[in-house]
Amino acid sequence: MPLNRDQIAQRISKEIQDGFVVNLGIGIPTLVANFIPEDKTVMLQSENGLLGLGPFPTDDKVDADLINAGKQTVTAVPGASFFSSADSFAMIRGGHVNLTVLGAMQVDQKGSIANWMIPGKMVKGMGGAMDLVAGAQRVVVAMQHVDKKGNPKLLEECNLPLTGTQCIDMIVTDYGVIQVTKEGFLLTEHAPDMTPEDVAKATGAPLQISPEVRPMS
Amino acid sequence: MNKVVGSAKEALNGVKDNMTILVGGFGLCGIPENLITALRDTGAKGLTCVSNNAGVDDFGLGLLLQTKQIKKMISSYVGENAEFERQFLSGELEVELTPQGTLAERLRAGGAGIPAFFTPTGVGTLVAEGKEIREFDGREYVMERGITGDFALVKAWKADRFGNLVFRKTARNFNPMVATAGKITIAEVEEIVENGQIDPDEVHTPGIFVQKIMQGPSYEKRIENRTVRA
């Protein structure tokens, strides 16, 4: 059984260390916030100008002037700060954000990512994604292993317009955990009930299997 | 000298066809909503608008897309606006998609007298095509240009009569940089106070950057994604 969205998010939450500043993208990455252990102090950064993102507000606390990068109403935790977009991207581009988690349409074996445009079809824009992949200390992708038609999303080379080159460190999909190494994709964990060979078959580039590969717990 | 004007219409006196207009806000948060409506009502056409987003179909800059007053948009994300996508895909609207951090820095640089700068963002992507690439300390960077505008429209929470501005929560976003980069910067605010009533330590944008101030008659402050705890 492939993992569900919550299980992908839960696995990524294990990458978060005490004291980290983390920027979570829209979709599965947002769910990661639900699995941060309470014994860790983590500040979530929202690129529209908030460090110290809190949970969604109760109905009586909704404030149009307090939103996250997905334009959802949010709250701020004690110790939070507000700042301009220029300061926000000084944090991001300047390498001060420890970890960012993003969705992707494609990732290739060199760690390049495409997640902002399908030529002639979808033009939403890159938002802050290009800055995040260029500047965050560590970049983790959360995505489905194959697209809706069953085509692999992990490829030898992305064929959609890139968001960034050679910037992805790790990918967590519903099929497993893949590290991006100098030698390409390396499978270190696989979904329970799937074999490493099953994962390799669904991958559009050579997939090395770690000697320590294990089922995801 | 009196920077306070009575209406958005009066503040926009001097806006002409083909001008470049910088507009603060992120999504619908912190947008100068009264100035945008008044900008539509000037009827000015062929505008280049610089704004992180393009509003939604019936609010924010989406209003000026409906009336086809915008010739070109410089933005980072336009996914909430179906009319935008339609005009872009049909070739009616020219669009320069710019990474969000690059857009913020281009405005900051423009307002600070810096014509260009180098950033790692976008190297190896469509964004860097046709631009100068230079290596510093073993890493490649792309040259991006500063942006200035004929008018800059910002939304602040409070202003004093000199134009010192205080923003509120995440409604700050692009407004401080936009304020620095306009030949004429207009701040629309929820409240105008006397000089001295804003602590100098709490000023976000010093009044030197603001030429005109107007208090909005009302604020809808529309919420794009109202999300509450379950």
Following DSSP, what letter does each residue of chain A receive, concatenated? Answer: ----HHHHHHHHHTT--TT-EEEE-SSHHHHGGGG--TTS--EEEETTTEEEE-PPPPGGG--TT-B-TTSBB--EEEEEEE--HHHHHHHHHTT---EEEE--SEEETTS-EE-SEETTTEE---TTHHHHHHH-SEEEEE--SB-TTS-BSEESS--SPPSBSS---EEE-SSEEEEEETTEEEEEEE-TT--HHHHHHT-BS-EEEEEEEEE--
Tokens at B87, concatenated: 């005009």
Q: In terms of DSSP bridges, do strands A50-53 and A43-46 run parallel, antiparallel, or are they unpaired?
A: antiparallel
Average pLDDT over residues A14-23: 98
CA gyration radius, chain A: 17
Q: Across-strand partners of B186?
A: B153, B212
Tell me the two tokens of residue A199.
């994962």
Mean pLDDT taken over chain B = 97
Minimum Cα–Cα distance from A54: chain B residue: B229
Q: Do A131 and B102 touch (CB under 8 A)?
A: yes
User: With a CB-CB cutoff of 8 Å, which residues 1-20 of chain B face chain A?
Assistant: none
- B contact residues 18-37, partner A, Cβ 8 Å cutoff: 26-30
Which is nearest to B98 in space by CA: B69, B128, B70?
B128
Catalytic residue of the set A47, A157, A189, A212: A47
Where b means 16+ CB within 10 Å and e means fewer, B126-137 reads ebbeeeeeeeee
Cα dihedral sign for B138, B141, B143, B146?
Answer: negative
Pairwise CB contact (< 8 Å): A89 & B95:
no
- Please give the CATH number for the structural domain made up of A5-215: 3.40.1080.10
Cα nearest neighbour of B77 on chain A: A125
Could you say which of A73, A131, A163 has the minimum Cβ distance to residue B100?
Answer: A131
Which of A55, A85, A134 is the closest to B121 by Cβ? A134
The confidence score (pLDDT) of residue A135 equals 98
Cα gap A147→B109, rounded to integer Å: 41
Burial class (CB in 10 A: 0-12, 13-18, 19+), A203: buried
pLDDT at B65 (0 to 100): 96
Local structure of residue B53 (DSSP, 8 states)? S
- Measured between CA atoms, how close is A188 to chain B, in angstroms? 29
Please return the burial class of B159, using the count of CB atoms within 10 Å of its CB with bins 0-12, 13-18 and 19+.
buried
**Three-class SS state of B230:** coil
Interface of B with A in 138-167 (CB under 8 A): 157, 167
Helix (H), strand (E), coil (C) string for A131-164: HHHHHCCEEEEECCCECCCCCECEECCCCCCCCE
CB–CB contact B99 A55 (8 Å): no
* Mean predicted confidence (pLDDT) in A34-48: 96
Smallest CA–CA separation between B7 and chain A, in Å? 23
- The answer to whether the Cβ–Cβ distance between A125 and B76 falls below 8 Å is yes
pLDDT one-digit tens code per residue, B46-56: 999 999 999 99
Kindly tell me if the per-residue pLDDT of B1 is higher than 90.
no
Summarised one tens digit per residue, pLDDT across range A71-125 is 999 999 999 999 999 999 999 999 999 999 999 999 999 999 999 999 888 778 9
Selected for mutation to probe chain B from A47, A48, A58, A160 (highest B CB count within 10 Å) is A48
**Residue B105 identity (one-letter amino acid):** E
User: Residue A54 — very low, low, confident or very high, per pLDDT cuts 50/70/90?
Assistant: very high
Please state the CATH superfamily assignment of the domain spanning residues B8-117+147-215 in this structure: Glutaconate Coenzyme A-transferase (3.40.1080.10)
Window from A81-95, A121-135, B64-78, B167-181 with minimum mean pLDDT: A121-135
Grouping H, G, I as helix, E, B as strand and the rest as coil, residue B52 is coil
CA atoms within 13 A on the CB side of B138: 0
Q: Is the pLDDT of residue B80 over 90?
A: no
Using CA of residue B92, residue B96, residue B101, residue B103, what is the dihedral sign? Answer: negative
Residue B205, pLDDT above cutoff 80: yes
Inform me whether the pLDDT recorded for B82 exceeds 90: no
Q: H/E element holding B192?
A: strand B182-193
Are the Cβ atoms of B169 and A128 closer than 8 angstroms? no
Q: Which residues of B touch A89 (CB under 8 A)?
A: 100-101, 104-105
* pLDDT at res. A139: 98
| Complex-level ipTM beyond the 0.85 threshold | yes
Minimal Cα–Cα distance from A190 to chain B, Å?
32
Q: Check if A47 is active-site.
A: yes
> How far apart are alpha carbons B4 and B40 in whole angstroms?
21
Chain B nearest CA to A181, separation (Å): 19
Mean pLDDT of chain A: 97
The domain segmentation of chain B, as residue ranges, is 8-117+147-215
What is the residue extent of each domain of chain A?
A: 5-215
CA-based nearest residue to A25, from A9, A2, A4: A9
Contact B205/B60 with Cβ under 8 angstroms?
A: no
pLDDT given at position A120: 81
For A132, name the nearest residue in chain B, comparing CA atoms only.
B121
pLDDT in tens, A166-193: 999 999 999 999 999 999 999 999 999 9
Mutate to test the interface with A, among B83, B170, B222, B224 (most CBs of A within 10 A): B170
Q: What angle in degrees, to the nearest 10, is found between the helix axes of B100-111 and A85-93? A: 120
- Distance, in Å, from the CA atom of B98 to the CA atom of B104, rounded to the nearest integer, reads 10
Six-digit token string for A184: 């390409």
Using the beta-carbon criterion (under 8 Å), do A89 and B174 form an inter-chain contact? no
Alpha-carbon distance of A72 to A6, in angstroms, equals 20
Q: Contact A45/A21 with Cβ under 8 angstroms?
A: yes
Lowest mean pLDDT among A18-27, A112-121, A142-151, A201-210: A112-121
B209–chain A Cβ distance below 8 A for any pair: no
Tokens at residue B70, please?
């915008």
